[in-house]
Structure 1
Amino acid sequence: MATLRRRLWNPYALVFISSGCTMVIELVASRLIAPRVGVSLYTWTSVIGVILAGISLGNYIGGRLADRYASPTLLGAVYTLAAYACLLPLWLGEGLHAFRLPFETPLLLWIVIYISLLFLLPSIILGCVSPIVVKLSLTDLSHAGTTVGKIYAWSSGGSIFGTFLTGFFLISRFGTKATVVGVSVLLILLGGWFLATGPWRKALVRLGFAALLYVAAVLSLSRAGLLATECMLETDYSCINVYEKDQDGRSVRELLLDRLVHSYTDLDDPTYLAYGYEKTYAGLLQPLMSDRTGLDAFFIGGGGYTFPRYLQARLPDSHIVVTEIDPGVTRAAERWLGLPQDTAIETYNEDARRHLVTRGAEGSYDVVFGDAFNDYSVPYHLTTLEFARLVDYVLRDDGIYMANIIDAGPQGHFMRAFVSTLQAVFAHVTVIPSTAGWRDSLRTTWVVAGSQREIDLAHMPEGYLALAPETLEGYLAEKPHVMLTDDYVPVDNLMVPVAEASFGSGALDPETWAGVRGRVLGVGAGVLALVTLGGAGHALHRRRRDRAPADDSSAGAAL
């Protein structure tokens, strides 16, 4: 067995695998947390920062452990602990989702804490691998530089491979939870391989104990329903769910993308519009529809295809183009929301701005609809001055650009910046809030319309009134605002107030806290048991090493 182990010992493969697993966890982290905190510059910054902090701390801890206890048993214990820790986000994630953010806690601090609780421990433990592998590989100090250089080159290669594999294949093919479990299984197999050292009876005890704990952890996750996918369809962009619901006295289907309800669809009536901003779109569009049999319309974002189908039903001769970056959303609309596969609506699964740059012709559209923003995730490149000019370029002289945005009424940082940016391009800009009490609302949906011609507001739905020019001018003047450009577009900063409002306040309720506490205690007990197991193995290995002849000091020989 020892001979076989020496033959199969490959330090480069080990660090390649461990670094690849780290990057898989890092990329999966952004998808796992999206239903709670969305996807933004802040979440990505926090994920990357937490993972790097964990790797750095793990490198330090691993180096200290390697100097004192370097052995295959230690490496096996680290891999086993890493396998267990990779299940931590699945085990605690649901409970931590129930935390409510106190108002006095800054949102950015909470995001960092939330991500740290889920992903810091796995990255620390995986960070311990490389120093231990380096220590076990240094049998000839005259070539130490070459050996260490190769190990870290292979480690970087593993990170690159794990990044591309996860982003381009694993998540879309297997989903986030299955990917996490797959990483964990790979690590537990590596851990078992290195724990099976020494006398077979002791190795069997170590393997049995580690396997028992691991199986117990996986079974606990399974029985709690934490391994089951929460998505009817999971893509690289979002977790997609469709639910049956009663709305306005009719049966509709609700499209949920991550945490945001995106649309309501009546399969029997494509002209049904549930959201106020959709009704506002219809009101703004009415003057263009009154004397035409069709329109040339471009949609930024497809979602449930509610308004494209509405326009098609009202004006069947319309030429409708939809850019929906997520092919999964289009598939969901076809499968569950009544979008015919042979529809006349043209869909391009690509970025809207890229489409307009490569395919847009001057004066080719009567109307452009923007429906790609929410309160957590705003595609910043669709908010800038340069993009507004591009939209104006593809619009006809009497064309109109409509976009719905979400912002907090009192602060309104993003709304002010977005409106000011459009005013630099369009001669007429109109703002319609979704509620009359928008000044006091912490979360308001706005429709912003821009055109080179005066906008006809005679057909606004009841209860939806555009801000008077003097009201809008006064609101914009209340606080300083920036011009959004490709070079400077701090959308995530501007959206902090509305994101904080969406979190709400209040402590964790007792019942939920009891569940979280139980999971924390369970994880702690498992980690303690594995640490104890690893410590016992280190002690046994050290005693054997101390009894060995003095000239048999090669680290590689221990393998």
Structure 2
Amino acid sequence: MSVFLSGAVVMTFELVGSRLLAPFLGSGLVVWTSLIGVVLGALSLGYWLGGVLADSRRDSDSLGLLLMGSGLMIALTSLLSEPIRAWGLPAGRVEVHSLLVSVVLFAPASVLLGCISPYATRLGISGLKEAGRHIGTVYAVSTAGSILGTFAAGFFLIPWLGSTRLLYLVAGVQVLLALPFCARRWMPLLALALVLAALTWQDSRSPEPGLLLDIDTPYSRVRVVRSHDGQGRPLNLLVDSPGGAQAASYLDSDELVFDCLRAFRLVNHILPKPRRALLIGGGGFAWPKDFLGWNPWSQMDVVEIDPTMEEVARQFFRHRPDPRVRVFHEDGRVFLNRRPGPYDVVFLDAFGTSDAIPFQLTTVEALHRVSEALVPRGVVLANLLGAPEGQGAAFIRRQVASYRQVFPRVFLFQVDPGLDKTSLQNLTLLALKDARTPFPQAAANIQPLRVRPDRPLTDDHAPVEWLARHR
């Protein structure tokens, strides 16, 4: 049982680790690579150390100490997570930072967790006759526990308990597993008391100033904070990853906060009366309100992968049910693959940060699906995050090239033309399905950016996280 549950704890610990890192480092490929690599490396070291320890001493008390120690280290991981994650992030070096934070936070507990299986295996071997079968059984049981831990944590425990409480739960499980093995029973009981005391302390701390909500959903960790704009007006901000807010709403008005959403109003200068619209990336549901306010005759389908976001938007971002809005809770690419439509306009606003770009929405194949969902004179408006020049320009060039592969006319604008072109910023991409559609006169004073040709992104090769960090 100890081997089975420890296997479950390993995978739960790793999955929760991704949630601990996401608000500060993102949830992209680089962060996952660092986390998985560090945990695997630490487990590997633990397997070796556990084998060495099993050869030098063979008693159940040592197994109990390993179980108890791993539980205490998991609890310590939770205690230290916020101060360690708050280390200053070196600009452009998310690989180094995510690797360093993963080593400090997750390696110690993972080493001790890795020691358990080889040590338990050695305890159960009394002779060589059935050693192979016993070793295979132990590792099969451990793997079965890991499978259970993966599904239980991902499907149920993380959304239900959240990251912090789940860490303390698995820490407590490890400590309790030590109880029958320790000769000094008071030690695991004391360790359990320490775990409970640490949980109580973390739960009783004053919340972060301005923090209104901090929850784990099946798809992300969602934080809502109270803040103010440049003029001092109070607003709520949605923060689900580093690098700024992904949604915002004034407390007393449906006025748009972000200029990147105001840029979407360009559609009315191209299509005077759009009837059907599709928005991929609901977020705080600010754009559907604004679009339907300007176009009361229209209908909009909103694709938002996280069902929790709709309730969060109702509670904190003035989202109200509207019979003209249909909401679909699924991945944007999956929705497009069902060939919906036809729509007059498709808005793409699913790129929250440059570290967690949904690559499946950036490729030529995805954009063909977007084109198929449009009427013959349809329009696409996409909110991109990157830099026209310098670091991050590689992604923008490849993304524009992908659109040019599908649409005859493609334009790229700075949302704020006053920003330096080498700085990370919001960019608006306009794609026209019909080459005869005129360039909107309202944008005549906006100079489209010149983007040099590059290779398009494909389902087979779309290294968007890497491109977002290179020129």
Give the alignment's TM-score, normalised by structure 2.
0.91
Query: Would you say 1:351 and 2:357 are equivalent positions?
Result: no
Q: Please tell me whether the aligned partners of residues 428 and 451 of structure 1 are also in contact (alpha carbons under 8 angstroms).
A: yes
Distance in 1 between the 2:188 and 2:404 partners? 68
> 2:292 pairs with 312, 326, 332, which one?
312
Q: How does 1:457-468 map to 2 (within 5 A)?
A: 457-460=440-443, 465-467=446-448
Query: Would you say 1:303 and 2:291 are equivalent positions?
Result: no
Query: Would you say 1:66 and 2:54 are equivalent positions?
Result: yes
Q: Please tell me whether the aligned partners of residues 46 and 115 of structure 2 are also in contact (alpha carbons under 8 angstroms).
A: yes
The code of the aligned residue for 2:384 comes to I
Residue 404 of structure 1 corresponds to which residue in structure 2? 383
Distance in 1 between the 2:373 and 2:174 partners? 53
> 1:112 pairs with 99, 103, 110, which one?
99
Q: 1:372 to 1:84 in 2, by over 3 A?
A: same
> 1:372 pairs with 347, 350, 355, which one?
350
Specify every segment of 5 or more residues in structure 1 that has no aligned partner in the other structure, as ranges: 1-12, 198-202, 499-559
Residue 24 of structure 2 corresponds to which residue in structure 1? 36
The code of the aligned residue for 1:387 comes to A
Q: How does 1:388-467 map to 2 (within 5 A)?
A: 388-411=367-390, 412-453=393-434, 454-460=437-443, 465-467=446-448
Distance in 2 between the 1:266 and 1:297 partners? 25
Residue 334 of structure 1 corresponds to which residue in structure 2? 314
Distance in 2 between the 1:122 and 1:94 partners? 17
Distance in 2 between the 1:207 and 1:238 partners? 34
Q: Cα offset for 1:316? A: 1.9
Identical-residue share of aligned pairs (%): 30
Residue 33 of structure 2 corresponds to which residue in structure 1? 45
The code of the aligned residue for 2:283 comes to G
Q: How does 1:25-424 map to 2 (within 5 A)?
A: 25-102=13-90, 106-195=93-182, 197=183, 203-207=184-188, 210-211=191-192, 213-214=194-195, 217-218=198-199, 221-222=202-203, 231-247=213-229, 250-259=233-242, 260-266=244-250, 269-270=253-254, 272-289=255-272, 292=273, 295-341=275-321, 343-361=323-341, 364-373=342-351, 374-411=353-390, 412-424=393-405
Distance in 1 between the 2:364 and 2:307 partners? 28
Distance in 1 between the 2:406 and 2:11 partners? 42
Q: Cα offset for 1:189? A: 0.9
Distance in 2 between the 1:420 and 1:94 partners? 40
Q: Cα offset for 1:353? A: 1.4
Residue 452 of structure 2 corresponds to which residue in structure 1? 476
Q: Cα offset for 1:258? A: 3.4
Residue 469 of structure 2 corresponds to which residue in structure 1? 496
Q: 1:99 to 1:251 in 2, by over 3 A?
A: closer
Q: Cα offset for 1:288? A: 1.5
Distance in 1 between the 2:349 and 2:258 partners? 12
Q: Please tell me whether the aligned partners of residues 302 and 323 of structure 1 are also in contact (alpha carbons under 8 angstroms).
A: yes
The code of the aligned residue for 1:38 comes to G
Q: Please tell me whether the aligned partners of residues 398 and 452 of structure 1 are also in contact (alpha carbons under 8 angstroms).
A: yes
Q: Please tell me whether the aligned partners of residues 339 and 369 of structure 2 are also in contact (alpha carbons under 8 angstroms).
A: no
The code of the aligned residue for 2:327 comes to T
What is the RMSD of the two structures over their aligned residues, measured on CA atoms?
2.5
Q: 1:338 to 1:358 in 2, by over 3 A?
A: same
Q: 1:487 to 1:459 in 2, by over 3 A?
A: same
Q: Please tell me whether the aligned partners of residues 339 and 372 of structure 2 are also in contact (alpha carbons under 8 angstroms).
A: no
Q: 1:36 to 1:395 in 2, by over 3 A?
A: same
- 1:120 aligns to what SS in structure 2? helix
Q: Cα offset for 1:86? A: 0.5
Q: Cα offset for 1:144? A: 0.8
Name the structure where helix makes up a greater proportion of residues: 1
Q: Cα offset for 1:213? A: 4.9
Which has the higher mean CA deviation after the structures are superposed, 306-315 or 90-99? 90-99
The code of the aligned residue for 1:396 comes to V
Q: 1:51 to 1:246 in 2, by over 3 A?
A: closer
User: Is the radius of gyration larger for structure 1 or structure 2?
Assistant: 1
Q: Cα offset for 1:36? A: 1.1
Q: 1:18 to 1:317 in 2, by over 3 A?
A: same
- 1:140 aligns to what SS in structure 2? coil
Specify every segment of 5 or more residues in structure 2 that has no aligned partner in the other structure, as ranges: none
* Aligned length in residues: 463
Q: 1:118 to 1:232 in 2, by over 3 A?
A: closer
Residue 200 of structure 1 corresponds to which residue in structure 2? none
Q: 1:436 to 1:359 in 2, by over 3 A?
A: closer
Q: Cα offset for 1:48? A: 1.1
Q: 1:455 to 1:136 in 2, by over 3 A?
A: farther
Q: Please tell me whether the aligned partners of residues 213 and 225 of structure 2 are also in contact (alpha carbons under 8 angstroms).
A: no
Give the alignment's TM-score, normalised by structure 1.
0.78
- 1:410 aligns to what SS in structure 2? coil
Q: 1:213 to 1:16 in 2, by over 3 A?
A: same
- 2:129 aligns to what SS in structure 1? helix
Listed one character per residue, the Cα deviations across residues 78-100 of structure 1 (whole Å, up to 9, x for unaligned) are: 01110111023322221122322
Q: Cα offset for 1:268? A: 5.1
Q: Please tell me whether the aligned partners of residues 24 and 86 of structure 2 are also in contact (alpha carbons under 8 angstroms).
A: no
Which has the higher mean CA deviation after the structures are superposed, 109-118 or 439-448? 439-448
Q: Cα offset for 1:357? A: 1.5
Distance in 2 between the 1:107 and 1:258 partners? 13
Residue 17 of structure 1 corresponds to which residue in structure 2? 5
Distance in 2 between the 1:227 and 1:65 partners? 43
Q: How does 1:497-516 map to 2 (within 5 A)?
A: 497=470
Q: Please tell me whether the aligned partners of residues 284 and 459 of structure 1 are also in contact (alpha carbons under 8 angstroms).
A: no
Distance in 2 between the 1:51 and 1:437 partners? 44
The code of the aligned residue for 1:459 comes to A
Residue 528 of structure 1 corresponds to which residue in structure 2? none
Q: 1:210 to 1:306 in 2, by over 3 A?
A: closer
Distance in 1 between the 2:372 and 2:357 partners? 23
Q: Cα offset for 1:221? A: 4.3
Distance in 1 between the 2:225 and 2:131 partners? 60
Which has the higher mean CA deviation after the structures are superposed, 17-26 or 241-250? 241-250
Q: Please tell me whether the aligned partners of residues 125 and 131 of structure 2 are also in contact (alpha carbons under 8 angstroms).
A: yes
Q: Cα offset for 1:313? A: 1.6
